[in-house]
Structure 1
């Protein structure tokens, strides 16, 4: 009798306890799920990229959000850091400089000249037959470097991809790669650097071949807006069939420096490679002469004055060229390019480039900087 009563009592307490236990477990589970959802949705809600249904919004939240949305938006005034890196866009012609270039060219009537200069920061420019197509010589290697780095940005070429020396691409003249055995392999970064550093012609031909050949490369030049730049023969092209113009050469450099071509990383590679060029006797020497310096190495002497020139020359005897990016002491930048065609190995051709660059120097002198008051310690640490 007592045993039966005890069993009924145990059975009566067991059911509520089980129900209570289930409720507790369900509550814990819902809490975990809700916490996880809030953790995931919280940042999105703070960014206002997640809209909650009205029944979840706190009183007044919707009205406040709508009121904020109705407020007129005003853009903050741009600072100097927000400004563009510059544009390849002509605005105000420096007619005095253009006229001076015409006078210098007219003094050597049997020489054909193409010249162009543009200050990227403000659009001031000078020109002399800037679109005349002339033998490019090795100056065409700058646009080739640009296309090479574009291929790297597009994941169609690797900076360390090995390129194999073949009989077809071996070129005479400048450079050392032609002396290596056929079948030798060089990483792309070495090929591109030697193409600019010592103007290696075999290195250039390796890249022309890797970029799809002459026709494919010429199509890329056209797409970049350089219609006068054409590769017709392997380097060294002593006959001068490969052509370019002063405006095209300046454009190939400006597109990189203004951010219109190449990623930031490839832009840095472009500048690093261009900075390795060892020939500085044309544009840099002429610029230094125009700034009042005659002695010493142009690169070092210009650096002391606050200038730097990243340039690439060309020389095939019947034609000479030089084009580069010019960094000025105030931080602004300009591009300049010069090509001269004349009698074989005529020293007047190279001297004319130096004269043209020297005439350009006065307009590239920055205005004196305004002295600014240095804040005192109290204003810095109130």
Structure 2
């Protein structure tokens, strides 16, 4: 009996030690754990994590590596739409024609979006009709509609998006063109980003330092309605809210945004990938990394 009690006591002590170790993980230890996960599958990854209210609490992995932006470029487009609206250039309630004809940045030749390659298919039923700018932003972010994106880029101008990004300090976010401009793609004229710059704009958004508190919160509210939740939110409790934007093309899976904890704290997390051989594996690993960051945050 005494032997059983002794064994139980030793097991309890060892469990307590393991709990203390796991509940007091440092950022260097977290980085090592994350790097181990990222090294477990083929691909190139980048991570940028920051606590906006305590910027010293930050973790960067390949944060300045350049990636194809995929649909993460839609967040900068949204920022420019809201910025121009706040300046009185138009109202978010203004109507705009839903069209499916766009000019290539290479030679001005016309191209159209293919519904089979797009999400937010319902918007195609509106071609030839009008929608509010606000509704198009919602479709661009929550359903990742490429058609809505191109309509809005035509409205605000890709050059203006980049001017605003540079003004915010995000010099490596390049929004050169709309989506599915095949001639531009063939010439290597792609929208690109880094994890660091996406972290920067989401940090400013979280702190209401992009346009103003009301406008920034309006953008956060749209991001909270995101329909694609396989990466950052997937391993988190439902009580945790995530305002985020994903992006994916062949060999690429991204997720970027602000995570809101039930106790009122928040953090910014950017997860980028490229050269993936198996997208499902990439999604699973990035989701696991999101869970590691979450567990680190709730220990504090």
TM-score bucket (shorter structure): 0.7 to 0.9
1:311-337 C-alpha deviation (Å, 9 max, x unpaired) = 111111221100111112321110001
TM-score w.r.t. the length of structure 2 is: 0.78
CA distance in 1, matches of 2:248, 2:164: 24
- Residue 121 of structure 1: aligned partner: 53
**Which residue of 1 is the match for residue 75 of structure 2?**
142
The structural deviation recorded for 1:355 is: 2.2
In structure 2, the partner of 1:228 is 172
Structure with the higher fraction of residues in strand conformation: 2
Task: Tell me the C-alpha RMSD between the 2 structures.
Answer: 2.2
Residue number among 17, 31, 34 corresponding to 1:101 in the alignment: 34
Paired residues of 1:177 and 1:202 also in contact (CA < 8 A): no
The offset of 1:229, in angstroms, is 1.3
Which protein shows a greater Rg?
1
Structure 1 residues 265 and 202, CA gap change in structure 2 (3 angstroms): same
- How do 1:1-382 and structure 2 match up within 5 A? 94-108=27-41, 110-123=42-55, 124-169=57-102, 170-172=112-114, 173-176=118-121, 179-180=124-125, 182-212=127-157, 214-236=158-180, 241-286=190-235, 288=236, 301-303=237-239, 307-343=240-276, 346-367=279-300
**3-state SS of paired residue (1:95):** helix
| Further displaced range: 321-330 or 227-236 | 227-236
Which residue number corresponds to residue 20 of structure 2? none
For residues 154 and 86 of structure 2, what CA distance do their matches in structure 1 show?
18
Runs of 4+ in 1 over 6 A off after TM superposition: none
Q: Describe the SS at the equivalent of 1:194.
A: helix
Q: By how many angstroms is 1:158 displaced?
A: 1.0
SS at match of 2:259: strand
8 Å Cα contact 2:68/2:192 also seen in 1:
yes
**How many angstroms does 1:181 deviate by?**
5.8
Aligned residues: 257
CA contact (8 A) 1:130 1:246 kept: yes
**TM-score of the pair, normalised by structure 1:** 0.63
Q: Unaligned regions of 5+ residues in structure 1, if any?
A: 1-92, 289-300, 368-382
User: How far is 1:285 from its partner?
Assistant: 0.8
Deviations, residues 352-382 of structure 1 (Å, cap 9, x unaligned): 2112212212211054xxxxxxxxxxxxxxx
Deviation string for 1:64-104 (max 9, x for gaps)?
A: xxxxxxxxxxxxxxxxxxxxxxxxxxxxx922222222222
8 Å contact from structure 2 (residues 46, 273) kept in 1: yes
Indicate if the aligned counterparts of 2:43 and 2:277 stay in contact, CA closer than 8 A: no
Aligned partners of 1:130 and 1:247 also within 8 Å: yes
1:177–1:203 CA contact under 8 A, matched in 2: no
Q: CA deviation at 1:345?
A: 5.3
1:344 and 1:352 mapped to 2: Cα distance?
13
Contact 2:92 2:133 in 1 (8 A): yes
Instruction: Indicate the structure whose relative CO is greater, using CA pairs within 8 Å and at least 6 residues apart.
Output: 2
